[in-house]
Amino acid sequence: MSRGVRREGLSRRHRFRGPEAFRGLLRGSRKFSGTVAVLHVAPVAAPTSRLGISVGRRSAPRAVDRNRIKRIAREAFRRHAVKQLPADLVFTLTPRFDLSQLDVFAREVSELLDRAHTRMAD
């Protein structure tokens, strides 16, 4: 990477270490539900937020589709102001999710992040 070029990826401080790290968050958190996704949010003492994404094989049997779903969610989180709030966030898919609804999922991720941001910023 050349000098002066800023990386725009999701840094390690904004990620969970593994799926087991956010299992407790899924049980005891505030939930924001959409038609194809659910956002679980819990306040934390850390200065910035972390993002977790749970996509099972039932929702997307092919790994390439699961990775596409995760990329969409990470990109929306990376560009959103909720990234600066002290909260842990985990996206899960509803049983009604269908791979043909990826455009709906992309819109809904942003809407759920907006709802979480307004709730947490108050």
pLDDT tens readout for residues 65-96: 999 999 999 999 988 988 888 889 999 998 88
Neighbours of 119 (CB within 10 A): 14
Three-class SS state of 11: coil
SS3 of residue 7 by DSSP: coil
- The pLDDT tens digits for 31-43 are 999 999 999 999 8
Residue 47: pLDDT above 90? Answer: no
Fold classification of 12-121 is Ribosomal Protein S5; domain 2 (3.30.230)
- pLDDT reported for residue 4: 55
Residues 6+ apart with CB under 8 A from 121: 85
Q: Identify the CA nearest to 75 among candidates 96, 91, 95, 64.
A: 91
What pLDDT is recorded for position 1?
47
